Amino acid sequence: MPPPASPAAFSRGFRLAGAAVHLYTASGSVLGLLIVLAAVEGDVEAALWLGLATLFIDGTDGMLARKLRVKETIPWFDGALLDNIVDYLTYVFAPIVLLWTTGHLPHGGLGWLLAALPLLASCYQFCRVDAKTSDHFFLGFPSYWNVVAFYVIVLDTSTLVTTVTLVVFAVLVFVPIRYLYPSRMRRLQGLTLTLTLVWLITYAVLVVQLPDPNPWVVAASLAYLAYYVGLSLWLTARGAGARRAARSVEGSQGD
């Protein structure tokens, strides 16, 4: 692989475009604040629309960053760290605030404990150096608490169901399942990106339909989750099998 080019090798316009991508990523932090404010003010639909905007930004900024080669044009700026900061705000902190203000968490100490679980588990997940694997998977539940909050609100789940859901997904942060990274995966990327776009459309439709979402739209939306989880589990199993086979071959060669 050739060494990275010097920033001076790029035009000023190209470097400014790279800086604009970082600003685009950073704008998610502002949206995170607006989600919290909307949640506090009781404007659930506004919070969910803003959440959709953060999903769009997070799903596109990485592709733009790679296209504009920001690691080479602005090598002194850590875009990955910026992305993690923004993702924690928009995927973890703001959604938990939304669940709290909408009354989906229990009252009292149990509610505080449940709110703390995703926050603490995601602190661990975001600080793991292998949270994103070299072959482009998320290791452990990738802190999609915004998606969890979305379905809790759309399905209007009971406090018990919400409690169990938060505990289960907090535990899954620590379970080494390899979850799809749609914009960077190698297998079935075209299909996965198409289905992801369809899911984003169902998200918007369900927000419009609140508080009485159409069951068919809900089913279509949940079908994408089944695809995402099912393919993640299948690829995790295949990868584990391939790694065991490789170790077996290495062991036999060592003998």
* Residue 66 CA from chain centroid, whole number: 18
Strand partners, 180: 137
CA distances from 106 to 82, 94, 99 (A): 33, 18, 10
Are the C-beta atoms of residues 91 and 106 closer than 8 Å to each other? no
Interval 151-185: pLDDT, tens = 999 999 999 999 999 999 999 999 999 999 988 88
For the chain, what percent of residues have pLDDT higher than 90?
A: 82
Q: Which residues of 38-53 are buried (b: 16+ CB within 10 A; e: fewer)?
A: bbeeebbebbbbbbbb
Confidence of residue 240 (pLDDT cuts 50, 70, 90): low
Q: CB–CB of 75/6 below 8 Å?
A: no
DSSP assigned state of 180: E
According to the CATH classification, is domain 7-254 in 1.10.540?
no
| Three-state DSSP state, 4 | coil
- Residue extents of the structural domains in the chain: 7-254
pLDDT tens digits for 118-150?
999 999 999 999 999 888 899 999 999 999 999
Angle between helix 12-40 and helix 94-101 axes, rounded to 10 deg: 20
Average pLDDT over every residue of 90-95: 98
